[in-house]
Amino acid sequence: MTSRFTFTRLATDGKARRGVVSTPRGDIQTPAFMPVGTAATVKAMMPESVRATGAQILLGNTYHLMLRPTAERIADLGGLHNFMNWDRPILTDSGGFQVMSLAELRKLTEEGVSFRSHIDGSRHMLTPERSMEIQRLLGSDIVMCFDECPALPASRERIAESMRLSMRWADRSRAAFGDRPGYALFGIQQGGLEEDLRGESAEALRGIGFDGYAVGGLAVGEGQEAMFGCLDYAPDMLPDDKPRYLMGVGKPDDIVGAVARGIDMFDCVLPSRSGRTGQAYTRRGPVNIKNARHADDPRPLDENCTCPACTNYSRAYLHHVFRAGEIISSMLLTWHNLHYYQELMAGMRSSIASGEFTAFQAEFHAQRAQGDIEPI
Amino acid sequence: MTSRFTFTRLATDGKARRGVVSTPRGDIQTPAFMPVGTAATVKAMMPESVRATGAQILLGNTYHLMLRPTAERIADLGGLHNFMNWDRPILTDSGGFQVMSLAELRKLTEEGVSFRSHIDGSRHMLTPERSMEIQRLLGSDIVMCFDECPALPASRERIAESMRLSMRWADRSRAAFGDRPGYALFGIQQGGLEEDLRGESAEALRGIGFDGYAVGGLAVGEGQEAMFGCLDYAPDMLPDDKPRYLMGVGKPDDIVGAVARGIDMFDCVLPSRSGRTGQAYTRRGPVNIKNARHADDPRPLDENCTCPACTNYSRAYLHHVFRAGEIISSMLLTWHNLHYYQELMAGMRSSIASGEFTAFQAEFHAQRAQGDIEPI
């Protein structure tokens, strides 16, 4: 524990980094995966269960929370940690990405983005200053700069304009955030798949100075190969003594590849969303539990997994409750998926620490290449 | 623990009885409330959480389980206890009530009921013999006779005919059940609100001989006053050295009134179903969490309740997650409601044991008369 926000690199293996982010609300061992708690809940999970999977930090969504129940209401109720019963660190996004992808009738200006709520059509405005205010009201430990990013593919001109706007907003975010000991502000690198624009963005962010740096604007439709191509250089442009966060990523193999390229932090809705749609992630790749071949299978999803879904239930049961539309299906599969993701991160952390990350990656891919267990 | 099924009366207070049902899978302190696990899950709850509320026995539904995933499949997978990860006693209904209320194109004959599945339209037949077979395949600890009951109001003639058919089926159920040490078969009294028919039914059941006796055919639309009127005499007609079970009841005040009239066991979907629709049961009566007055309320649902929903969350949070359609809303409110029901049963048990059940009832009604806490 610490009264300040710090990042310590404990070991490196190639470009992969093993570290620890310290905050007054607790440490985060990196590489770290942050489950997404969009509307003040990680869907279908109790927070103590999220903690039991090994999660040390959650992500909350500014866009959703500002609309319902509103940041002011959460502040009045003692902040997001108290509201949702999670006393460890919380990172909040800035709302920028979701305003652009989810909101209706949005209008982008130098000042910010005005939009209509997808819930009730009410009018709102997000600016760097308002985003900082909302994240402060929520009590977020790691605050993200307000930024904007175009969906790919986009023209180089559009990407450059957008990136430069985001850099001006990063400057305004930094000024609005002010000096808040124990809380962190992360800048977000943009620039699409254009190496020189990524460099220009990194330069601007370093000039402003942040507690951590995100690689933004990826995982927006460009595909894994293009994403890895960008990650071959983009993280290297960011300060190596600060945590690096790849926003919105991803599938297990995306994460392993990104860690190999120097990323420390991840968030993604996939493990929880997939849990609700019957898809499980396992060491041997994804398993679709609604497939009829599981209906009579007494074996667990993964016999080596120690989560409650694998310890206490058969594939036949998981198949049954999914088909029957039972809530426990979402509860068990989400728990399993989050457990698997955390175990994957823990495996990467220990293999980086012992200089065996190359072997870890080979084993990760070899297990997946086997495919799921044979039907009984 | 015991290798046999037994019932011991520990104390009485007026007509109210404090007892214990012993089975090889564990004891059930009575008066007992059995949460309903229709499709091999108590909706929105992990079984260990159901256990944590104090539940000592669950109810499973023959009708739902025979259709999906089927009794044969559950038997192949080691029985219902293993399938759903609940190692304590399970009572299963016979399917009779639900076939009549849920199934399509049902046809009633002396032999049994033929019907079409509400899931896929497939044709099935339930008879006393088939119901016993299904409940044996499931591994149910307490098996219910296959019976039939008309919705009220119904003509006296219809009620009498139906009751006599159910008594012939009770005889066939007893014969088909056979001799299964450690497992129990309960007979079901019918006869609607006709005292003489209730007497005739009880006489028939006593002649056959069962391990326990249910009062059936109530809570089907007759109202609390009529139900209590019937319970003023119906339980007394059943052997007093066997457990008495009032099927499908009920709201908290229904249960308290029925315990006062000599009932030992209850099941009802209300606490779980209401949990999913935003209704909480508390000492001070029902609370509708979706009501706007809770939106800013930092207080728990019930400050004296020790369930996770009341210990860790505000009414404002419960209101928010219900409005946002989040699964945790169903999880928390179901947990609270089942906890409240179990606490209510525990309170009745200790007050009967100490001869203070009259005072308990007065306090129960006085607390409810206060109504919910004032808005902040």
Lateral strand order in the sheet of B26-30: B6-13, B16-23, B26-30
Residues A261 and A302 both lie in one domain: no
Instruction: Quickly tell me which residue has 């011991």 as its tokens.
Output: B8
Residues A302 and A230 both lie in one domain: no
Residues A222 and A342 both lie in one domain: no
Confidence of residue B149 (pLDDT cuts 50, 70, 90): confident
Q: What is the pLDDT of residues B38-57, one digit of tens each?
A: 999 999 999 999 999 999 99
- In sequence order, the β-bridge partners of residue A107 are A114
* Pairing assessment for the beta strands B212-215 and B244-246 based on DSSP bridges: parallel
Judged against a pLDDT cut of 80, whether residue A340 lies above it is answered with yes
Q: What is the pLDDT of residues B150-177, one digit of tens each?
A: 877 889 999 999 999 999 999 999 999 9
Report how far residue A368's alpha carbon sits from residue B5's, in angstroms, rounded to the nearest whole number: 50
Asked whether residue A308 is domain-assigned, the answer is yes
Report how far residue A304's alpha carbon sits from residue A288's, in angstroms, rounded to the nearest whole number: 18
Cβ within 8 Å, pair B321-A46: no
Residues A104 and A210 both lie in one domain: yes
Comparing A94-98, A209-213, B309-313, B359-363, which segment has the lowest mean pLDDT? Answer: A94-98
Cβ within 8 Å, pair B314-A83: yes
- pLDDT for res B314: 98
Cβ within 8 Å, pair B326-A43: yes
Within 10 angstroms of residue A359's Cβ, the number of other Cβ atoms is 11
Interface residues from chain B to A (CB-CB < 8 Å): 39-41, 43-46, 68-69, 73, 76-78, 83-85, 295-296, 298, 308, 312-314, 316-317, 319-321, 323-324, 326-328, 330-331
Residues A86 and A213 both lie in one domain: yes
Per the CB < 8 A criterion, the answer to whether A355 and A13 are in contact is yes
Asked whether residue B52 is domain-assigned, the answer is yes
Lateral strand order in the sheet of A16-23: A6-13, A16-23, A26-30
* Spatial CB neighbours of A185, under 8 Å, sequence gap ≥ 6: A142, A143, A144, A145, A173, A174, A177, A210, A211
DSSP assignment of B232-282, as one string?
TTTGGGS-TTS-EEETT--SHHHHHHHHHTT--EEEESHHHHHHHTTEEEE
Q: What percent of chain B clears pLDDT 70, i.e. is strictly above it?
A: 100
Cβ within 8 Å, pair B320-A68: yes
Q: What is the pLDDT of residues A1-45, one digit of tens each?
A: 578 999 999 999 999 999 999 999 999 999 999 999 999 999 999
Kindly state the DSSP code that residue B294 receives in the 8-state scheme. Answer: G
Report how far residue A15's alpha carbon sits from residue B52's, in angstroms, rounded to the nearest whole number: 47
- pLDDT for res B1: 56
Cα Rg, chain B, nearest whole Å: 20
- pLDDT for res A221: 87
Query: Among residues A298, A238, A300, which one has the least CA distance to residue A263?
Result: A238
- pLDDT for res B24: 97
ipTM score: 0.98
- pLDDT for res A209: 98
Confidence of residue A105 (pLDDT cuts 50, 70, 90): confident
Asked whether residue B291 is domain-assigned, the answer is no
Confidence of residue A101 (pLDDT cuts 50, 70, 90): confident
* Spatial CB neighbours of A224, under 8 Å, sequence gap ≥ 6: A253, A254, A257
Residues A208 and A73 both lie in one domain: yes
- In sequence order, the β-bridge partners of residue A60 are A92
Per the structure, the complete domain to which residue A154 belongs is given by 6-268
Predicted structure pTM score:
0.98
Per the CB < 8 A criterion, the answer to whether A232 and A215 are in contact is no
- pLDDT for res A157: 96
| CB nearest to B314's CB, from A43, A77, A314 | A77
- pLDDT for res A138: 98
Residue type, B122: S
- Which tokens is B16 given? 């109210």
Asked whether residue B161 is domain-assigned, the answer is yes
Q: What is the pLDDT of residues B209-218, one digit of tens each?
A: 999 999 999 9
Residues A257 and A279 both lie in one domain: no
Q: Which of B61, B64, B317 should be substituted to probe chain A, the one whose Cβ sees the most A Cβ atoms within 10 Å?
A: B317
Has A267 been annotated as catalytic? yes
Has A93 been annotated as catalytic? yes
* Spatial CB neighbours of A363, under 8 Å, sequence gap ≥ 6: none
Cβ within 8 Å, pair B77-A44: no
Tabulate helix, strand, coil % of chain A (nearest 5). Answer: 45, 20, 40
d(CA B45, nearest CA chain A) in Å: 7
Asked whether residue B352 is domain-assigned, the answer is no
Residues A295 and A190 both lie in one domain: no
Burial A212-244 (b: 16+ CB within 10 A, else e): bbbbbbbbbebebeebbebbeebbebbbeebbb
Cβ within 8 Å, pair B295-A73: yes
Within 10 angstroms of residue B225's Cβ, the number of other Cβ atoms is 9
Residues A259 and A329 both lie in one domain: no
Dihedral of CA A357/A359/A360/A364: which sign? positive
| CB nearest to B41's CB, from A40, A44, A326 | A326
Residues A101 and A200 both lie in one domain: yes
Residues A260 and A211 both lie in one domain: yes
Averaged pLDDT, A159-185: 97
Averaged pLDDT, B137-143: 98
Judged against a pLDDT cut of 70, whether residue B320 lies above it is answered with yes
Q: Which of B13, B254, B264, B267 is catalytic?
A: B267
- pLDDT for res B272: 97
Q: What is the pLDDT of residues A283-318, one digit of tens each?
A: 999 999 999 999 999 999 999 999 999 999 999 999
Domain boundary among A268, A287, A310: A268
Averaged pLDDT, A308-333: 98
- Which tokens is B347 given? 């309170």
Domain boundary among A239, A268, A297: A268
Cβ pairs bridging A and B (under 8 Å): 98
Structural domains of chain A, count: 2
| Residues of A whose CB is below 8 A from B45 | 328
Q: What percent of chain A clears pLDDT 70, i.e. is strictly above it?
A: 100
Confidence of residue A100 (pLDDT cuts 50, 70, 90): confident
- Which tokens is B52 given? 């944590």
Residues A147 and A256 both lie in one domain: yes
d(CA B319, nearest CA chain A) in Å: 9
| Residues of A whose CB is below 8 A from B83 | 314, 316-317, 320
* Pairing assessment for the beta strands A123-126 and A113-116 based on DSSP bridges: antiparallel
Report how far residue B283's alpha carbon sits from residue B365's, in angstroms, rounded to the nearest whole number: 9
Cβ within 8 Å, pair B46-A321: no
Asked whether residue B304 is domain-assigned, the answer is no
- In sequence order, the β-bridge partners of residue B23 are B26
Domain boundary among A249, A268, A287: A268
CATH of the domain at B264: 3.20.20.105
Report how far residue B360's alpha carbon sits from residue B368's, in angstroms, rounded to the nearest whole number: 12
- pLDDT for res B170: 98
Q: Which of A13, A147, A267, A372 is catalytic?
A: A267
Q: What is the pLDDT of residues A173-231, one digit of tens each?
A: 999 999 999 999 999 999 999 999 999 999 999 999 999 999 999 998 899 999 999 99
- pLDDT for res A1: 56
Q: What percent of chain B clears pLDDT 90, i.e. is strictly above it?
A: 94
Asked whether residue A79 is domain-assigned, the answer is yes
- Which tokens is B54 given? 């104090």
Asked whether residue A107 is domain-assigned, the answer is yes
